[in-house]
A and B are shown apart, each in its own frame.
Chain A
Amino acid sequence: MKLLFAFMFLAFTTVNLSADESPRNILYSTYNEYSLKVNKAKTVLPLLRYYSDEIYNSFDIYFKHSNLKEGINTLFSRLKFTTHLTQVSEHHEIKNNKTGCLVVSGTSAEKKRISIYVGFVKTSSWLINDINIEYLEDNEEYLKAPICDAEELMKKRTKNW
Chain B
Amino acid sequence: MSNNTPNEVQLKVKVFKILEIAYKNNGELTANIVRSKHPFTLTVTSSGTATLTGKAGNMTFNVSEETNSIGFDFKFASLQFFGSQNGQLRYSATFTIGFTSVSFRGIFDIEKFILECSGLVCIAARLMRERKNKIDAAIQGHTK
* Chain A residues in the interface with B (C-beta under 8 A): 55, 58, 61-62, 65, 70-71, 73-75, 77-78, 81, 84, 108, 110, 112, 130-135, 137, 140, 150-151, 153-154, 157-158, 161
Contact = CB atoms under 8 A, between A and B. Distances in A.
10 contacts: A55-B99, A61-B72, A74-B98, A77-B5, A84-B5, A132-B103, A133-B103, A140-B105, A154-B103, A158-B105
In the A-B complex, the 7 residue pairs with the smallest Cβ-Cβ separation, listed nearest first, are A135-B8, A135-B104, A132-B101, A131-B100, A78-B98, A150-B101, A134-B103
Given A58-B99, A81-B100, A131-B99, 4 more contacts: A70-B3, A74-B73, A154-B94, A161-B90
A119 to B, nearest CB: 11
Given A77-B3, A78-B5, A158-B80, A153 B99 contact: no
B26 interface: no
Interface string B88-123: 001010101111111111100000000000000000
Contacts of A151: 94
Contact of A77 (B4, B92, B103): B4
Contacts of A55: 99
Contacts of B94: 132, 150-151, 154
Given A74-B72, A158-B80, A110 B9 contact: yes
Given A158-B80, A158-B92, A78 B2 contact: no
